[in-house]
Amino acid sequence: MYSLTQLTKSFENFILEKFGSTSYWVVAEIAKINEKGGHYYLELVDSEDNRTSALFSANIWSSTYGQIFNKIGPDLLQILKPGNKVLFSVRIDYHRIYGLKLNVLGIDPSYSYGEVEKRKQETILKLKEEGLYDLQSQLYLPVIAKRIALIGSSGTAGYRDFLNKLTSNEVYRNFKIKEFQASVQGDKAAAELITALKEARLYDVEVIVIVRGGGSKMDLNVFNDYDLNREICLTKIPVITGVGHEYDEVVADLICNKMCITPTAAAEFLYNQIGIFSAQMRSAYDAIINRSREQLSGLKDEFYHLHKYLIHNSKQFLIEYQWQLKEDSHRMQKLFLHVLNAESGRIDLLKDKVKSQSLNRLHLAQTAELPAKLDKLEMLLTSFIDQKKVELNGVEEMLNMLNPVRLLKSGYTISTIDDIDVNKINDDLEGKTMKTLTSNALISSEIKSVKKN
């Protein structure tokens, strides 16, 4: 008879012996993920024929998560999302209270990147099969597009870059912009972008611009979403994308009316279009001027006289202001030296302040933080020793149960012939001397006959 603790301890030893030192690479889909105290608790699933074929709990301890994050970077936040298939390095772990779990040791991001590319190609194929892929390219994009619907997240640098470029360029700034806020990253991004797109279509705009700054392949994966790209294809207003990336194009870039590599490039495209049109108008204007000059050739002499007069007065103007420029230059030099001296003093004060604060911080660490850490270490060591004592007591109980003396006292005996266990001898036993060990005696007997069972 075994206690539950003894049974679970035996099972724990079996798991450690068979699997404890071995790690495995496992592909699984994340069904759930929760974070608590820096630790991540996952529910992993697998399926065959559209039915769940495996379900297992897993965890990523905070120290391991930090190591994985240092290797992968911010992409880890997008990889560890419900619904994603991930390639994990795991070790099988069993706890007598918390049961059987997978302990995650590492993650291979290249598998997740491959899943992103796979979903991207699936979206493209589906849009082509439905006849939606080329709809945006068939729309007319106005040369002068002044009424703009802007979709993006106002808190991002790309969004601000687009607005700044559009409103501060030297070509054309009289745009009318209607803004529609939407997340451009995360679980809710696709749904919010679709909602913003539907709202933008209700307004009298000439073009819809979707912007997002740079990011990794995982960050930009929302723009490969089938539902979002289907909505872009069905939009009857030309859509311009300004999604920042260096290498891979997202699906939204491929199916929109005009793709720009960054939000800034999207703004430049809009005002450059107007600038090109303006340049064409100026060219026509220059042609009119030339024609007018031909008609006014009779006034050439008067024009020449005015030309000479202008040159003479320009020279006088330059001479008068040359001295003024020298005086201004001298004054600026004196002012610069004054500012330089003032800033040098201020920097010295800041250096003294930083030095004082650093010394105070070091003193605080020596007097407060270090003792606290030592106390914590002492608590951890005490807890570890108590745990090992419990484990040793369990081993002692098992050894006591398996003690041969205890078995002999229970009525069992050990019989040998020539110091060999009787059960292991296959020869003829008649006439041989058998020794039988009991709890209190060693009995020698001569075998007269043997009857086989």
Q: Hey, how many other C-beta atoms are within 10 angstroms of the C-beta on 221? A: 26
- Report the pLDDT averaged over residues 65-74: 81
- 122 occurs within a structural domain: no
Query: How far apart are the C-alpha atoms of 13 and 17, rounded to whole Å?
Result: 6
Query: How far apart are the C-alpha atoms of 56 and 9, rounded to whole Å?
Result: 21
Instruction: Output phi, psi for 251, to 5 deg.
Output: -60, -40
Q: Would you call 294 helix, strand, or coil by DSSP?
A: helix
Q: Determine the structural domain holding residue 422 and report its residue range.
A: 408-446
Q: Are residues 396 and 415 in the same domain?
A: no
Q: Are residues 317 and 395 in the same domain?
A: yes
- What is the total residue count of the chain? 453
Closest by alpha carbon to 44, among 98, 83, 15?
83
Last residue of a domain, one of 217, 240, 274: 274
- 282 occurs within a structural domain: no
- 204 occurs within a structural domain: yes
Q: Residue 43 maps to which CATH number?
A: 2.40.50.140
Query: How far apart are the C-alpha atoms of 96 and 400, rounded to whole Å?
Result: 22
Q: Are residues 143 and 88 in the same domain?
A: no
Q: Are residues 104 and 136 in the same domain?
A: no
Q: Are residues 390 and 422 in the same domain?
A: no
- 152 occurs within a structural domain: yes
Q: Are residues 264 and 332 in the same domain?
A: no
10 Å CB burial of residue 416 (0-12, 13-18, 19+) is middle
Q: Are residues 420 and 395 in the same domain?
A: no
Q: Which two tokens stand for residue 165?
A: 């470029």
Q: Please check the confidence at residue 152 and state whether its pLDDT lies above 80.
A: yes
DSSP 368: I
pLDDT band (50, 70, 90) for residue 257? very high
Element spanning 195, H or E: helix 189-200
pTM of the complete model: 0.48
Cβ within 8 Å of residue 249, ≥6 positions away: 259
**194-249: pLDDT as tens digits:** 999 999 999 999 999 999 987 666 777 888 889 999 999 999 999 999 987 756 68
Query: In whole angstroms, how far apart are CA 306 and each of 106, 297, 312, 320, 358?
Result: 82, 15, 10, 21, 73
Return the percentage of the chain with pLDDT > 70, whole number.
87
Q: 41 near 34, Cβ under 8 Å?
A: yes
Q: What mean pLDDT value characterizes the chain?
A: 81
Q: Are residues 205 and 265 in the same domain?
A: yes
**385-416: pLDDT as tens digits:** 888 888 888 877 777 776 777 766 777 788 88
Q: Residue 155 maps to which CATH number?
A: 3.40.50.261
- 286 occurs within a structural domain: no
- Beta bridge partners, 212, equal 243
pLDDT, residue 96, reads 67
- 347 occurs within a structural domain: yes
Q: Are residues 105 and 136 in the same domain?
A: no
- Report the pLDDT averaged over residues 277-283: 83
Q: Give the sign of the dihedral formed by CA 308, CA 314, CA 319, CA 322.
A: negative
Q: Would you call 69 helix, strand, or coil by DSSP?
A: helix
Q: Would you call 104 helix, strand, or coil by DSSP?
A: strand
- 237 occurs within a structural domain: yes
pLDDT band (50, 70, 90) for residue 86? confident
Q: Please check the confidence at residue 170 and state whether its pLDDT lies above 80.
A: yes
Q: 210 near 152, Cβ under 8 Å?
A: yes
Q: Are residues 346 and 371 in the same domain?
A: yes
Q: Please check the confidence at residue 75 and state whether its pLDDT lies above 80.
A: no
- Beta bridge partners, 93, equal 101
- 442 occurs within a structural domain: yes
Q: Are residues 338 and 389 in the same domain?
A: yes
Q: Are residues 152 and 268 in the same domain?
A: yes
pLDDT, residue 305, reads 72
Q: 171 near 274, Cβ under 8 Å?
A: yes
Q: Please check the confidence at residue 190 and state whether its pLDDT lies above 80.
A: yes
Provide the domain count of the chain.
4
